[in-house]
Amino acid sequence: MAEETPWQQALRYANRANPYPFYTELRKTPVARQPDGTYVVSTYREIVTLLHDPRVSSDVRKLPSRAPAPAAAEPGAEPITEAVIELEPNIITCDPPEHDHDRRMMTRHFFGPADAPHQISDLEPDIRRIVAGLLDGMRGKTRIDVVDEFAYPLPVTLICKILGVPLEDEPRFHAWIETALDALDFGPEAASEEMRSRLAGARRSVKELAQFMAGLLEQYAERPGPGMLSAMVHDGGPDGRMSKGVLASNAVLLLFAGHETTVNLIAHSVLTLLRHPEALEELRRRPELIVPAVEELLRFESSVQFWHTRSAVEDIDIAGTTIPAGSPIFLVYGSANRDPQRFENPDQLDLQRPDNQHLGFSQGIHYCFGAPLARLEVQVAVDEFVRRVENPRLVTDPPPYRHNQIFRGPRHVLVDIDGIRD
């Protein structure tokens, strides 16, 4: 059996807590062809170049089947990807002009009217209230799980409110999303018995989530309700109506991406600060540093480690390599954000890092749709955590990680505390 490539090693579950040494290896070949024909791009400059290259498609329907490779040895993630493809494309998985049109419409409903898009910044008091409540709830405890008790409840509560998804349905959609995420694997372990057995359940979960969303949209079509989904169902505005399928697909995306990535970001932020006591102390002393600090945390532990739906529509010459038309392209943001060619001492945490133009939210037309919401949530959450939690100490380091490679994050972060300040 051939030796595993740095990329394959980075994807192994055992390396989830620290894929960075493998990224360092990976960057020695900025555009690296993998045995399955995928081109993995790991350096900052090349990723930014491809993000602005109109010969790169994000449309999964244009994603060709992988280059010839023995199916058993390289099963990749086709089954789950296919399940996603069965949905109509959402804004991450389609190209202009559909993308531009759909995103414009969603922008109007998510952020508010073009002349004063205030809806997300208006949420700050809600964010503060929810965060305060979560921290209050930790009073009297000596050990907390930052993921379950802090990082998860905040974004999920907010995205439900914004979209108009009943919070009572959270246990159901949470289970579907977890099942689907745990089955997605792009690495050598995809072939394992364990991972293969997860696939059927995952496909069912994706389907159920889509049906749930379609049902909710149906309900709003009959009877308008609060939130963005209902508004979109009834929008006959300048960009016209979205088809039911596209709407459902984007609703699933908003619900999922609207919290999963933020959970990981909050959890990673707390984890990273606890690993860097001097940074934690700096932030405690100078709370105004929270704004640049969150940018550094986004760079340091990016919530979306890579993205997998792009492909070359034409031959593309880049960094001495030609990516042949039809090849899948993976952009490894997590590696670009640690690229020493772009960031000085990239493995050091510097809350006041100058010129921190990281790719934590990507760049180009697919720049993270919910970035302003995520930033506000994480700024408030981390700021309050630092201010109020007394003497937090990590219980296990590294903590256990979730299986997913794209949406990389700890499953639990247990922390011992001395108390909660007012």
Partner 1 sequence: MRIVVDLNRCQGYAQCVYLAHEVFRLTGTEALTYDPNPDDARRLQVERAAAACPVQAIMIDRLDGAERGARS
Partner 2 sequence: MTLVATLAELVSDFRANGRIVIVGASLAGLRAAEALREEGFSGSLTIIGDEPYEPYDRPPLSKQVLKGWMPAEHTLLPRFREVDAQWRLGVAATGLDRVARQVRLADGDQIPYHRLLIATGTRARPWPNPAEAALEGVFALRSRDDAARLQQALATRPSRVLVIGGGFIGSEVASVCRELDIPVTLTERGPAPLVGALGGVIGEIAAQMQRDHGVDLRCGVSVSSLEGDAAGHVRRARLSDGTTIEVDVVLAALGSIRNVEWLQGSGLAAGPWGVGCDAGGRAFDINGVVTDSVYVAGDVARMPHVLYEYQFLAMEHWDNAVFGAEVAAHNMVNLEPHYRPHLLLPGFWSGQFGVNIKSVGVPPFGDEIIFTQGSVKDRSFAAAYGRRGRIVAAVTFDHGKWLEYYARLIEQSAPFPPPPPGWDRPDIMKPVPAEFPAPGVPTAIPDVVLTGHDPNERRAEFRPRGH
According to the binding rule CB under 8 A, does residue 326 interact with partner 1? no
Instruction: Read off the amino acid at residue 324.
Output: P
Pairwise CA distance, residues 173 & 48, whole Å: 34
Tokens 């907010």 identify what position?
Answer: 158
Pairwise CA distance, residues 172 & 352, whole Å: 41
Tokens 């690495």 identify what position?
Answer: 187
Pairwise CA distance, residues 383 & 170, whole Å: 26
According to the binding rule CB under 8 A, does residue 384 interact with partner 1? no
According to the binding rule CB under 8 A, does residue 96 interact with partner 2? yes
Of 15-23, 181-189, 288-296, 405-413, the window that binds partner 1 (rule: CB under 8 A) is 288-296
According to the binding rule CB under 8 A, does residue 54 interact with partner 2? yes
Pairwise CA distance, residues 386 & 229, whole Å: 35
Chain positions 24 to 53 lying near partner 2, rule: CB under 8 A, are 49, 52-53
According to the binding rule CB under 8 A, does residue 56 interact with partner 2? yes
Q: Which does 53 bind (CB under 5 to 8 A by kind): partner 1, partner 2, none?
A: partner 2
According to the binding rule CB under 8 A, does residue 295 interact with partner 1? yes
Pairing mode of beta strands 307-312, 39-41: unpaired
According to the binding rule CB under 8 A, does residue 421 interact with partner 1? no
What Cα–Cα distance (Å) separates residue 45 from each residue in 293, 307, 365, 391? 23, 16, 17, 40
- The CB-of-33 to partner 1 minimum distance in angstroms stands at 29
Tokens 């991450």 identify what position?
Answer: 92
Dihedral sign, Cα of residue 261, residue 264, residue 266, residue 272: negative
Dihedral sign, Cα of residue 260, residue 26, residue 342, residue 345: positive
- The CB-of-391 to partner 1 minimum distance in angstroms stands at 28
Q: What's the burial of 141, exposed, middle or buried (CB within 10 Å: 0-12/13-18/19+)?
A: middle
Of 66-74, 207-215, 357-365, 391-399, the window that binds partner 1 (rule: CB under 8 A) is 357-365
Of 195-203, 323-331, 336-344, 369-377, the window that binds partner 1 (rule: CB under 8 A) is 369-377
Residue 396: CB atoms within 10 A of its CB come to 11
Q: Across the strands, what pairs with 41?
A: 31, 331
Site size for partner 2, by CB under 8 A?
A: 18
- The CB-of-355 to partner 1 minimum distance in angstroms stands at 7
Q: Which does 376 bind (CB under 5 to 8 A by kind): partner 1, partner 2, none?
A: partner 1
Q: x/- binding map, residues 350-369, to partner 2, per CB under 8 A?
A: --------------xx----
Pairwise CA distance, residues 12 & 282, whole Å: 35
According to the binding rule CB under 8 A, does residue 104 interact with partner 1? yes
Three-class secondary structure of residue 101 per DSSP = helix
- The CB-of-119 to partner 1 minimum distance in angstroms stands at 9
| Nearer of residues 104 and 196 to partner 1, judged by Cβ | 104
- The CB-of-348 to partner 2 minimum distance in angstroms stands at 24
Cα 192 → chain centroid? 25
The encoded tokens of residue 164 equal 């108009």
Of 64-72, 110-118, 271-279, 333-341, the window that binds partner 1 (rule: CB under 8 A) is 110-118
Of 68, 70, 97, 171, which one interacts with partner 2 (CB under 8 A)?
97
| Nearer of residues 62 and 204 to partner 2, judged by Cβ | 62
Site residues for partner 1 per CB under 8 A: 104, 107, 111, 114-118, 120-121, 291-292, 294-295, 355-357, 361, 363, 367, 371-372, 375-376, 379
